[in-house]
Structures are given as C-alpha cells and as structure tokens.
Amino acid sequence: INQKLSDMSSSDSLTGLANRYTFDILIHHLLANAKRHQHPVSIMMLDLSELKAINADGHTLHLDTFIQKTGQFIKTSIRASDVACRWSEDKFLVTFNNCQQDKATSIAESLRLNIEHLLHKELNHYVANSIRISAGLTDYYPNDTIESLLERTERALTHAQSQDSNRMMYVQPPYYMPTYMTRRINKQLDVKAVQMQA
C-alpha cells in the first residue's frame, strides 16, 4: 500500500509518467548536473489540441484511453535517463539528456510523427484530422533558470501552433525567435518508433 501511495504521489495516474511535482524535482537535479558536467540538454513540449473530437460523434475510443496510450508510447520511446512528464491534460514535457541538439531534434520530431501515426491508427480519418499535434523544442543554456527554459519551450510551441500546427518549432537559446526545424506532416508516411540508445 505504501509503495502504491508513493507511486501515485510521484506519477500521473493515467499515463504513469512523472507528474508536475516530480518533474520539478527531477529537472532541478538534471540541470544542475548538466551545468556541472557541461552536458547538453534539450526539452520538448508536446501539445495535442482539439482532443474533445475523440469523444464526439460517438467514437468508441475514449479520450482517456488515447491519452494513456500516448503516455505509454512516450515512455517506451525515450531512454531511462530522459524524463517525460504529463504537464497538463493535453501537454507533455520530455527532456533529452546528454544529447546533442541535432540528435535531440531528430528524436523529438520522430516522436511527434509517431504519435501522429498512432493517432491515425487508433482513430478514424475524420477525427484524427481534427486533432493537431504540435511541439516546441529548445536547449538548456547555462544562464537559464527553469522558468526561462520552460518559457522558451512554450514560446516555441506557440509558434508551431500559429503555423497551422502539426509541426515542430525550435528556438535557439538564449533567444526567443523561432526557426523552422520540420516540414508539414506527410499523412501517408509510415514512421516507425525511433528509440534513443543508452
């Protein structure tokens, strides 16, 4: 019982990912370690918008089921050293630790595309096309606070959403101006899960 209560307090009950409280603890340690050893860290904020479309039109797949599947997919697609968090009802945060920016960008975009693929696999075409999957990515900068890092990540996400969504935007630290890091999704692309090697 004590173990179950401990798990419940540290993780999101639906997805099994870290909750915001746990993420806040882990990110402090992660960034302190990155600064001490000069390891690169990237952080991605992933947003699934218009999720209410899943429960519209009497669709058999429940919204919670899809969020749960998404969380499980994220968890199995990243390394044990990375951290994934359910940030809000429809947002997820993922860190890529000790990972160069170009590699982190590739993995982050593959992850976003694979969730898009999962969406079309689980839902009918009409509902899947109603949902937008956007992502913002940035890197940790030595002078960053956690607040400035998250703000820059959220700005990158906001820029992605303003560009008709279904894309990822990267913001280079310490600036806030976005640069495109991806193309529009090719709906016919069958992308396999890409996992980072330990």
- Please spell the DSSP secondary structure of 136-175, one letter per residue: EEEE--TT--HHHHHHHHHHHHHHHHHTTSSSEEEE-TT-
pLDDT at residue number 4: 46
Please report, as a single letter, which amino acid is at residue 18. A
**Percentage, residues of the chain above pLDDT 90:** 41
- The per-residue pLDDT for 44 is 97
Q: Kindly indicate the confidence band of residue 61, based on its pLDDT and cuts at 50, 70 and 90.
A: low
What element of type H or E holds 132?
A: strand 132-139
Minimum mean pLDDT among 32-36, 37-41, 160-164, 176-180: which range? 176-180
- What is d(CA 143, CA 178) in angstroms, rounded to the nearest whole number? 19
Report the alpha-carbon distance of residue 151 to residue 157 in Å, rounded: 10
Average pLDDT on 89-100 reads 93
pLDDT digits (tens, 9 = 90+) for 155-175: 999 988 888 778 899 998 877
CB contact at 8 A, 171 and 101: no
Read off the amino acid at residue 66: F
- Which residues are within 8 A (CB) of 167 and not within 5 positions of it... i.e. 6 or more apart? 134, 135, 160, 180, 182, 183, 184, 185
| pLDDT above 70 as % of the chain | 77
Residue 107 has pLDDT above 70, yes or no: yes
- Record the pTM: 0.81
Q: Which amino acid is at 104?
A: A
Report the SS3 class of residue 21.
helix
pLDDT at 58 over 60: no
